[in-house]
Amino acid sequence: MQLDFNSFNSIAFGRKYEGHWLENTNGIKAFVSNYGARLVALYTPDKSGEFADIVLGFNTLNEYMSGHPFFGVTVGRCANRIAKGKFDLEGETYQLNQNNYPNHLHGGPNGFHNRIWMIEEAEKQHVEMSFISPDGHEGYPGKLKTIVRYELNDNNQLKISYQAATDKTTIVNLTHHSYFNLKGEGQGDILDHQLKINGDYITPVNQHQVPDGHLKNVAGTPFDFSGFDAIGNRIKDCDEQMVIGHGFDINYVLNSRLHEFAADVYEPSCGRAMRVYTNQPGMQFYTGNFLDGSDIGKSGKRYYKYSGFCLETQHFPNAINEDDFPSVILKPEETYEYEVIYEFYTVN
Report the candidate in 186, 196, 169, 168 with the shortest Cα–Cα distance to residue 276: 196
312 is an active site residue: yes
Separation of alpha carbons 162 and 216, rounded Å: 29
Q: Tell me the sheet residues that pair with 250.
A: 285
**pLDDT tens digits for 232-264?**
999 999 999 999 999 999 999 999 776 789 999
Q: Which pLDDT does position 261 carry in this prediction?
A: 95
Query: Is pLDDT above 70 for 1?
Result: no
Q: What is the pLDDT of residue 15?
A: 83
Task: Give me the percent of the chain exceeding a pLDDT of 90.
Answer: 95
Q: Is the pTM of this model over 0.95?
A: yes
Contacts of 106 (CB under 8 A, 6+ apart): 70, 75, 78, 79, 80, 100, 113, 177
* Mean pLDDT score of the chain: 97
How far apart CA 190 and CA 180 sit, in angstroms, is 9
**3-state secondary structure at position 256:** coil
Q: Please determine, for residue 329, whether its predicted confidence score (pLDDT) is greater than 70.
A: yes
CATH of range 5-346; options 3.50.30.20, 1.10.10.10, 1.10.3720.10, 2.70.98.10: 2.70.98.10
Report phi then psi at 42, rounded to 5.
-150, 110
Query: Which neighbouring-strand residues pair with 17?
Result: 10
Domain limits, the chain? 5-346
In whole angstroms, give the CA distance from residue 269 to residue 348. 9
Q: Using DSSP, state whether 212 is helix, strand or coil.
A: coil
Catalytic residue among 138, 185, 312, 322: 312
Per-residue pLDDT band at 14 (split at 50, 70, 90): confident
Of 156, 159, 184, 137, the C-alpha closest to 32 is: 159
Catalytic residue among 177, 185, 193, 315: 177
Q: pLDDT digit string (tens) for 191-238?
A: 999 999 999 999 999 999 999 999 999 999 999 999 999 999 999 999
How far is it, in rounded angstroms, from Cα 128 to Cα 64?
A: 21
